[in-house]
Amino acid sequence: MKLHEYQSKLIFGEHGIPIPRGRVAMTAAEAKQIAEELGTQVVVKSQVLVGGRGKAGGIRLAKSPEEAEETATQILRMKIKGLPVRKVLIDEAANIDKEIYLGITNDRASKKPVMMASSEGGVDIEEVARMMPEKIIRVYIDPLLGLRDYQARDIAMDIDLSRDHWRNFGQIAKGLWNAYQSCDATLAEINPLVITADDQLLAVDGKMVIDDNALFRHPNLIDKRDLDIEEQAEIEARKYGLSYIKLEGNIGCLVNGAGLAMTTMDIIKLYGGEPANFLDIGGGASAEKVAAAFRIILSDPNIQAILINIFGGITRGDEVANGILSVMEEVKTQVPMVVRLVGTNAKEGLQILADANMSTAVTLADAAEKAVAAIAVKEVSAVVRKANK
Ligand code: GDP
Ligand code: MN
C-alpha cells in the first residue's frame, strides 16, 4: 500500500526527521487559510500516488495566501497520469541550495534492506541511476542490528556532505530506518532531502510503501488506503478474501492456490492464450466466495472464456462440482467455461459437470487447450456471422 507524501512525512516527523511546517487541504479555501497561518511563501503540492508530480505541473510555489488559493484551485482540478487530485499539501516553501536522495528498500539478492543515497537527488534521480550509477551509494542493513552509526557516516562521506551536516544526517538516516522498520515498509524515500539556504537539512518530499501482508499489524495505516489507484474489482475481491489481480488477456482463471494460479496462467500462455487475471480463491472456498469470484471475473469486459482449475484436497471434487453448478444458476453467463478437477472425488465431480453439459478436463494442458480453442471458435463464428450478413 502506497502512502501519500503528507502521510509519509508525518511518519518521518514522528521519527525525528525535520519536515516543513504545513498541512493537507481538501479545498482551495482551506489551502488559503493554511497559507495564512504559515505566513510565508508556500508550495502547493498535489497529493496523488504517482511519481513526477513536479514535472506534471502538480507542484507550484505561491507567494501569498491568495495565490495559494488560486493555485490550489487549479491543481485540485488536475488529473496527473490519470489520477484525480483530491488533496493538496500546503507546506512552507523551502529555499533550496542542494537536493539529495535518500531511500531504503528491500534488496532481494542480499536478503537485506538497502539504504541508497545520492548527492544528485531531485526529480531526475532515475536519469542519474541510468547515466551515472556510480553516483548512487548503497549500504546494506543487517535487519537485526539496524542502521549503524558508522554506516550513516560512511554515506554522509560518500555523498560529499560537509562534516558539519554529519550529525543531523545521521539522525535523519536513522529516523528513516526506524520509520521503515516500524511500519513494515518495503520503501521509505526522501527525494529530495534538501540543504536549505540557511544550511539546514529538510525532507521536502516523502514516499512510503507498506507491505500489504503486514497491514494487519498497522490498523491505523489501513484506513489510509487510497482507493483511487486500485481497480474496483480488486477492492471487491479483497472484501471476500480473494487474491485477484487484473491482467490484459481474455481468459479468466478461477483457481485454488497461488502456485496453481501461476501455473494455470503459464499454461494458458503456452497454448497461445492470454490470462485475463490472477485469481486465488484460497483453500476451502465456500460457494459464496466462488460466486463472488465469478462475478469479479465476469465484470471484466475482455473475458471470452473461463478456466476453472481446482485441486480437491479437503474440499471434495463432487462438492466443488455441485458448488459450481449452483453458482452457475445464480451468475447466468454465456461465456464458455472449462473445468479441470483433480484430487479427492475428482471422477465423481467431473461426471456431475459432464452431465450438466459443462466442458471438463483432466490435465491442465487439456484444459488450457480447450479454453484457448473456445475463444478461437467464438472468433471464427463471429467472422462467419459477419460474412453472412
Ligand atoms: P515529485 O516531483 O513528485 O517528486 O515532487 P517533489 O515534492 O519532490 O517536488 C519536485 C521538485 O519541486 C523538487 O525536487 C524541488 O526541486 C521542487 N520543490 C518542492 N518543494 C519545494 C519548495 O518548498 N521550494 C522550492 N524552491 N522547490 C521545491
Ligand atoms: Mn520527489
| CA of residue 47 to ligand 1 center, whole Å | 13
**Stretch 256-277: mean pLDDT:** 95
pLDDT grade for 241, boundaries at 50, 70 and 90: confident
Measured CA to CA in angstroms, residue 174 lies from 65, 147, 152, 153, 384 at distances of: 36, 6, 8, 11, 68
Kindly list the catalytic residues.
101, 189
**Stretch 35-55: mean pLDDT:** 96
Q: β-strands 83-84, 79-80: how paired? A: antiparallel
| CA of residue 171 to ligand 1 center, whole Å | 22
Q: Write the pLDDT tens digit of every residue in 73-102.
A: 999 999 998 899 999 999 999 999 999 999
pLDDT for 15: 98
pLDDT for 14: 97
pLDDT for 226: 80
* Closest listed ligand to the CA of 121: 1
Q: Write the pLDDT tens digit of every residue in 345-382.
A: 999 999 999 999 999 998 999 999 999 999 887 777 77
pLDDT at 317 over 70: yes
Specify the residue with its C-alpha closest to ligand 1, atom 14.
122
Q: Which three cell numbers stand for residue 144?
A: 537485526
CA 186, 89, 99, 40 torsion-angle sign: negative
| CA of residue 143 to ligand 2 center, whole Å | 26
Percent of the chain with pLDDT over 90: 75
Q: Write the pLDDT tens digit of every residue in 9-41.
A: 999 999 999 999 999 999 999 999 999 999 999
pLDDT for 285: 67
pLDDT for 191: 97
pLDDT at 149 over 70: yes
d(CA 15, CA 18): 9
| CA of residue 245 to ligand 2 center, whole Å | 28
* Closest listed ligand to the CA of 43: 1
**42 contacts 64 by C-beta, under 8 angstroms:** no
Cβ count near 317 (within 10 Å): 23
Q: Write the pLDDT tens digit of every residue in 277-305.
A: 999 988 776 777 888 898 899 989 899 99
Q: β-strands 88-92, 83-84: how paired? A: unpaired
- Among all chains, which residue has been given the C-alpha cell 451468475? 331
Measured CA to CA in angstroms, residue 73 lies from 38, 55, 77, 190, 227 at distances of: 19, 18, 7, 27, 23
pLDDT at 217 over 80: yes
Q: Which atom of ligand 1 is nearest to the CA of 20?
A: 23
Mutate to test the pocket of ligand 1, among 6, 45, 59 (most ligand atoms within 8 A of CB): 59
Measured CA to CA in angstroms, residue 287 lies from 223, 291, 299, 325, 352 at distances of: 29, 6, 18, 10, 16
Percent of the chain with pLDDT over 70: 99
Mean pLDDT of the chain: 93
* Closest listed ligand to the CA of 100: 1
**302 contacts 253 by C-beta, under 8 angstroms:** no
Phi and psi for 249 in degrees, rounded to 5? -80, -165
